[in-house]
Structure 1
Amino acid sequence: MSVQVHLSLRSANVARNIEWLDGTPPLSLSFRGNELAGEVGEACNVLKKLERARLGLKGSRDTLEHLAEELADVIICCDLIAMDVGINLDKAVADKFNATSEKVGLKTRLFL
């Protein structure tokens, strides 16, 4: 099995989406939205467990490594939604970041 290497999340998502779906119909935005909500929920659950540990409460614990994995899943799902509807997410993020900096009077800008 040869491995495909991609230099951007979008190009990797496009390639893997074709491979994953393997001829089945495209996924709906409803599916993608539920997928995103599930991943955000998983990330929030890790945050809850980390906060529980920080506060010294009884209960299960988690790790920053697991949080990183779940946050990565959230970003991947966001890009899949943007991919499906033709949004350049890199540009959208930079535009929104810069608009917020301008609105609140901060000098920091994000450039692609």
Structure 2
Amino acid sequence: MEFSHLTHASRLRNQTSAVYHNCLDWSLADWSNAIAGETGEMCNLIKKIRRGDSIDVKDVGKELADIVIYADLLADQLGLDLGECVRQKFNEVSDRIGSNIKV
């Protein structure tokens, strides 16, 4: 999946859904707090795995997906293309560590 498809679908869902329509006026702080909340939920599952609880890793995947979705929504609010941001950052780190692996 490409981030552009996610961005388009999120915009459409936010504009047409009574549940998500109120997100249209969220501030940058609201979006970043949503990311932090989902990150906390993911970390809690990882903590449980670490202590030996039986956690389905698919549940961790769902929280990771929530993080990515909110990150894409925040990037869109800032006028950024999340896919391009990820590509640039990955390549920047490759350059810094002397790796020729780029995306």
Q: Give the TM-score taking structure 1 as reference length.
A: 0.80
Alignment of 1:9-28 (within 5 A): 9-19=6-16, 20-21=20-21, 26-28=25-27
Q: CA deviation at 1:14?
A: 1.1
> Could you tell me how far apart the structure 2 residues matched to 1:65 and 1:11 are?
25
1:101 corresponds, among 86, 91, 94, to 94
Counterpart check, 1:92 vs 2:89: no
Q: Given residue 62 of structure 1, which amino acid in structure 2 is its aligned partner?
A: I
Task: Provide Cα deviations, 1:32-59, integer angstroms capped at 9, x if missing partner.
Answer: 1111110000010011111111xxxxxx
Cα distance in 1, alignment partners of residues 24 and 11 from structure 2: 15
For 1:25 and 1:45, the matched residues in 2 are separated by 29
More helix by share: 2
Question: CA 1:87–1:25 in 2, change beyond 3 Å: closer, same or farther?
Answer: closer
Q: What fraction of aligned residue pairs are identical, expressed as a percent?
A: 34
**Once superposed, what is the RMSD of the aligned Cα atoms?**
1.7
Q: After the TM superposition, which residues 13-52 of structure 1 pair with which residues of structure 2 at under 5 Å, given as runs? A: 13-19=10-16, 20-21=20-21, 26-52=25-51
Question: How far, CA to CA, are the matches of 1:46 and 1:8 in structure 2?
Answer: 28
Contact 2:35-2:71 at 8 Å conserved across structures: yes
Q: Is the 8 A contact 2:14 2:24 kept in 1?
A: no
